[in-house]
Every structure is written in C-alpha cells, then in structure tokens.
Structure 1
Amino acid sequence: MQKYEIAVIPGDGIGKEVVPEALKVLETLADIHGGLSFEWTPFPWSCDYYVQHGKMMPDDGIQTLQNFNAIFLGAVGNPQVVPDHISLWGLLINIRREMEQSINIRPARYFKGLQSPLVNPKDFDLIVVRENSEGEYSEVGGRIHKNEDEIAIQNAIFTRKGTERAMRYAFELAQKRRGHVTSATKSNGIVHSMPFWDGVFDEVKKDYSEVETASYHIDALAAFFVSRPQVFDVIVASNLFGDILTDIGGAIMGSIGIAPAANINVNGKYPSMFEPVHGSAPDIYGKGIANPVGQIWTAKMMLDHFGEEELGQHLLDAMESVIGEGIKTVDIGGAATTKEVTEALIQRLKSL
C-alpha cells in the first residue's frame, strides 16, 4: 500500500474549517481506492501562534517540514497581526523560498452550475504556470531619504535558470494537456527583463516542436482572459504577471474562493505545498458557511502531484457534479453549509 505522509497547516480563519473537510474527502478517496493511505501531522502555525510566540512558525519549522511527502496549507492572515507581510512572509513565503518551491500552478475552468460573470464562458479550461522564486517579488532594493526626497527602489531579478525552469515546466505540462503554451510578457515597456524573458522563451520552445506557442503583452493578455479565455491552455508568466492573471482566472470562474494552487519543488529535495487561493476570511469564520471547494480542489492537485491522476479526476468530476446540482455555499449563490457541501461530495465519490 502506498502511504503519503502529509504535514497539515490549517492556519487562520476559515482555513481551520475547510482543511478538516478536505481531509475527510481524501480519506474517502483512500478508502475507495484501497491501495493508498494518508498520515496527517497537524501543525498549529498561524497568526494565533504568532501572538503567543512572536513568530509564525518555530525556528526549526523548515527542518521539520522537509521530512514529509507534501504540505497541505489552509489560509494565513488575521487582523490582529499587522502589517500583512508579517504573516505572509513569516509562514507562506518562508516555506516557498526555503523549500525551493520555484513553480506555482493555478488552474481555472468553467464549472456548470457556477455563475461566471462572463456572458458566454465557452467552457474555458486553462492553467497558469507562475515563476515563484524571483522576478518582480525579489527582496533586492531599499529605501533612502525622508519626506519629499524619499526614494524606494525595488529590483526585479530574472535568472536564466529560474526563467527556463518555469518555461520547461509549462511546456511539459502542455504536452499532457492540449499542446499549447502562451507566454506573458511586456517587452515593449520593460526594456531589460522582458526582452530577456522573450529570448529564453524562443530558445526553450525549440525543444518542444510539437507544442504550439503564442506570446502576448500582459495588458492584452489580461483583457483576453476576460474576452476569450477558451483559447488558452497553459500560460507561463513571471511572478507578478502570474499573480495577477490567476486572480483574473478565479474571477471569471465566478469566485476566487474555489481556486486552488500548488507550489512545486521540481528537484525533489523538499516537499511541495498545496494551498487554496482564498484568504482566511475572518469575517465569516465560525459561521459554518465557508466554501470548502478551493481546499478540496487543492487536494486534487496534490493527488495529481503524487501521480494519482485517476483519483484526482474522480474528485474533479464529483466537484463539478455537486456544483451543477446546486449544492453550493452562499458565496457562490447557494444555501448549503460547509459540511453539507463536503458530505454531498463524499456521497458522490462513493457513487462514481
């Protein structure tokens, strides 16, 4: 029997509600399959932990996490801990950087029964591969002077290694999907990093002659996500551009609350981390109405990462079926509770 050891970090707010529901679904899948099992190890690292200890995670947290097959994260953030970067950089970004999770992938697709703001969504099904370790979110820079003379400098760092790694991941993913990769650029306005990005893309695509390609400036690409998302398959983007595009992807689905994400370590040295895109939503925490779909879709991505694609597809089919029947939480136009959505998913999985 294949056993997966998972570090579970529910985090803050609704993360503490939806993570247990996703674990129930995964346990159901394991029971149905019969050939795999999960061992969950919970960690209380969160803003509550920060209030008590002055840090989001213990000093040896990274060393502890590296012994697991994957990390399953809920949500991070609480109004008690400000500014926001304390919680973000103290836990989520810390894990991403220290564990060399250099690729972030986020899918977006049309679900029947989920009201997209698009008049005609045309069954779009796309996935964004975001470079996750450098680019516009590098820490290089600083601030000098004060008052009207104050200057802030933020340096975007693009390495050939990091850029090519993201692009190759995108091409290899496209080979398993519909065979098309779109590059997000802005070489007509950002005169150093983006022409560099374009040059690497042109080199890498030569090794994947069977994959069709396109390249769009980010402003036009953002507009095309709204006007014709159905034409896209895999999109590869820098850290900032990928961040923006994936939020648009969540919006055109009808809710960012159902969007999942995976932070991938490609060298096998450390585990990858799986998290929904939504925040901790402290305003609805404890009411039992949080949407569990984002966390459960995140579980599907974790299954795919383990090579359990058939189980992952069963889960996605069940999600679409339940949403199509109108069993939804209030944020996406339904009246079901968190637990009712989960129970419906579990019953559907058992019937497939």
Structure 2
Amino acid sequence: MPTIGVIGGDGVGPEVVREGLAVLADVAEREGFRYDLVPFDLGGERYLKTGEVLPDKVVDDLRRCDALFLGAVGHPGVAPGILEKGILLRLRFEFHQYVNLRPVRLYPGVETPIKGKGPEEIDMVVVRENNEDLYVGAGGFTRKGTAEEVAIQTSINTRAGVERCLRYAFDLARSRGRERPYRGLSEEERGRGLVGQVTLVAKTNVLTFAHDLWMRAFTETARDYPEIKSDYQHVDACCMRMVVSPERFDVIATTNMFGDIITDLGAVLQGGMGLAASGNLNPARTAPSMFEPVHGSAPDIAGKGIANPIAAILSVAMLLDHLELPRASERIRRAVARVLAAGAPKTPDLGGRANTADVGQAVRNAFE
C-alpha cells in the first residue's frame, strides 16, 4: 500500500490540496485501491514560529514515502528564497527529482489567449532538467554592497545529468507516439515510421560551452530513437513559436532555467496557472517524486476559497500515473474534462463565480 506524504504549505496550498485529496479518496474507492496519507507541517507559518525550514528528521520521514503531494510554498512574511530553496530545491536535489514534467494541454471548453488555436493544436509536454544549471547555487559575491560589487552565478551542466533528462524525453515521446502519433509529422515522415518528436530548446549560438554539451548529447541520444524526430529551437524562437504555432511541439526537452520560463508560458496557453499541473520526478524511484500545482501560494486570494483546484487535481492524476495506477489517473482527467467542457462551475480565474469546493465537488460528481 503506497504512502503519500502531504505538504499543504502556504497560501492557497491547503485549500487546493484539500480538494485534490477528496478526489483521490473518491477515485480510490471506485478503483478499489488503498493508500496511506502522512501530513507534514512545512512552510512559512512553521518557519515564522520555529525558525525551521526543513529539518533533517523531516527529510528522513519524507524519504520513506512513495510519493509527495505539495500545495504551494511561499509566504509574504518570509524573505524570497528561504522557503523556495530550503524546501522545494532541497527536496528536488536530495531526492534526485531530476525531471520536472509539465504537461501543456488545452481542454475543450477552456479559452486560450492564442487566436485560432484549440485543443488539437495545444498538446505538448515539457521535460525540464531539474537538478542542474543555475539552480545549483554555485557562485558568489565580490565587494558586496559597494559600487564595485560583482555577482557571479554559475550554470552547472554534467553529461550524466543532461543525458538522463534527454533519455526521459525521448522515452516519453516514444510512449506518446505509440498511443497517438504526433500530429505534426508530415506524410513523408509518417511513411518513414516516425511517431513522435523531441525538440531541444537551448541557446547554442551564445552559451557555447554548456549548450554545446546539450546539443552533442541530444544528437547522440537521438540515434537510439530512430522513430522519433529530432528538432532544435533557440529559446527565444521557441517562445515565439509556442504562441504562433503551438501545434509544432510534441515533447520539449530543456534546461532548468529555460524550462522554468517556457512552462509558465505553456500554462497561459492551456488557460492559466489554475489548470497547470506538474511533477518533480525521480525516474529511478530511489526516493519519492513530488507532485504540485504550479500556481504558487497566491497570497492575494488565500483564505477566500476561490482558488482553482483543477491544477492540484490534475497533479493527483500525475501522482497516480507515477504509482502505476493509470486507470485511476485517466478517470480523473476524464472527469476534469467533463467539468471544463460544461463551462460551469468555474472559479474567478476562468471567468466564473464558483468557489474552490464547488469545483472540486463538480469533478467528483463527474466521475463515471
């Protein structure tokens, strides 16, 4: 029986986690599986009361879980970086969650700001490297606080770290292609047996050391996946084309920093942050993976009961995928699709007046 660690966290985190757990309980009853929940008190309030961010003992307790479900981290009373680095980055690094997986899917019934594009054109997945690059924290200051101050932040990229991320992306494109071949392939490419595409997003013309490594690893890894088309985009061109022609993307593989940026753009394409789910994955399963909505703690609406819970609910679906319960995860996605297609209830971020609990209940009512 899997153990799921639950971190409600800050702001709207506990509100959306509550609905995610209610959906989890309902689908578990319908599908006939069991699980244990272990709550963890982590976030801004704990830090302000105790001065503790993430004690080693809690890390050990989290490590014993099979998966983690996180609401949000970020508190207006805590300086930026303390919670983000002390909780999010520490767990991502210590638990070797080296892939940040971000589906970008537009559901029927949801508006996108991209004119003339719909669900058929917006269906991609971003595989963001999650343990290297600028987020390692390598760097420092010289003459800090003076007019001559110098700040250095170093991007760290290893062959092992880059290649494992790329292999995950190619494996994902292969599995997606087996279920439904990538629609952006030409007839000639389909005739050659291609079923999917991986686009490397980097900046090889300027970052000629780190991204030369990425390009060489990408080219060499692609040889092991002859049925997957290889594509490359500079990050600036990628941002433009995600808006102009999102249908040209299937699986995107990219660096930690660039992935952080383009996945928020992807969230806007799919209708907003309230619909964007994510997973921080340890594919080797040597430690738990962590699943979370990407909207953050949203302190401006915390406590009002109007946060959109769908991103958290879809994160539960990703968690169930990781626990190898695909029927349950797909059942959640179908229920979410029904609610969104119906056009109501909708929280204010989608133009409605419903509250968080209303939408969560609607998803549970939409189960087959």
TM-score bracket for this pair, using the shorter chain length: over 0.9
1:75 aligned to 72, 77, 96, which one?
A: 72
1:47 aligned to 44, 52, 69, which one?
A: 44
Q: Is the aligned partner of 1:106 residue 2:105? A: no
Q: Is the aligned partner of 1:11 residue 2:9? A: yes
Q: Is the aligned partner of 1:210 residue 2:227? A: yes
Amino acid at match of 2:272: S
CA distance in 1, matches of 2:330, 2:247: 20
Extract unaligned runs of 5+ from structure 1: none
1:114-172: CA deviation from partner (whole Å, max 9, x where unpaired): 11101122321101000000112221111101422111111111100000000000000
Q: Give the CA deviation at 1:302.
A: 0.5
Residue 120 of structure 1 corresponds to which residue in structure 2?
116
Amino acid at match of 1:107: P
Amino acid at match of 1:159: T
Amino acid at match of 1:71: L
1:15-65: CA deviation from partner (whole Å, max 9, x where unpaired): 01110110000111011111x112111111110000111022223121111
TM-score by length of 1: 0.96
2:351 aligned to 333, 339, 349, which one?
A: 333
1:239-283: CA deviation from partner (whole Å, max 9, x where unpaired): 011111100000111211221110111222111011110111111
Residue 228 of structure 1 corresponds to which residue in structure 2?
245
Amino acid at match of 2:56: D
Is the contact made by 1:110 and 1:121 (CA closer than 8 Å) also made in structure 2? Answer: no
CA distance in 2, matches of 1:134, 1:72: 23
Alignment of 1:317-328 (within 5 A): 317-326=334-343, 327-328=345-346
Is the contact made by 1:27 and 1:38 (CA closer than 8 Å) also made in structure 2? Answer: no
1:132 aligned to 102, 111, 130, which one?
A: 130
Percent pairwise identity = 41
Q: Which is further off, 51-60 or 69-78?
A: 51-60
Q: Is the aligned partner of 1:145 residue 2:163? A: no
Residue 58 of structure 1 corresponds to which residue in structure 2?
55
Q: Is the aligned partner of 1:271 residue 2:288? A: yes
Alignment of 1:81-96 (within 5 A): 81-82=78-79, 84-96=80-92
Residue 251 of structure 1 corresponds to which residue in structure 2?
268
Alignment of 1:156-235 (within 5 A): 156-178=155-177, 179-235=196-252
CA distance in 2, matches of 1:218, 1:238: 10
Q: Is the aligned partner of 1:344 residue 2:362? A: yes
Is the contact made by 1:71 and 1:273 (CA closer than 8 Å) also made in structure 2? Answer: yes
CA distance in 2, matches of 1:300, 1:120: 29
CA distance in 1, matches of 2:326, 2:351: 30
Q: Which is further off, 331-340 or 157-166?
A: 331-340
Is the contact made by 1:55 and 1:90 (CA closer than 8 Å) also made in structure 2? Answer: no
1:22 aligned to 20, 31, 36, which one?
A: 20
Q: Which is further off, 141-150 or 316-325?
A: 141-150
Give aligned pairs, total: 346
Is the contact made by 1:6 and 1:72 (CA closer than 8 Å) also made in structure 2? Answer: yes
SS at match of 2:133: coil
Is the contact made by 2:112 and 2:118 (CA closer than 8 Å) also made in structure 1? Answer: no
SS at match of 2:290: strand
Q: Is the aligned partner of 1:311 residue 2:328? A: yes
TM-score by length of 2: 0.92
CA distance in 2, matches of 1:70, 1:151: 41
Amino acid at match of 1:49: R
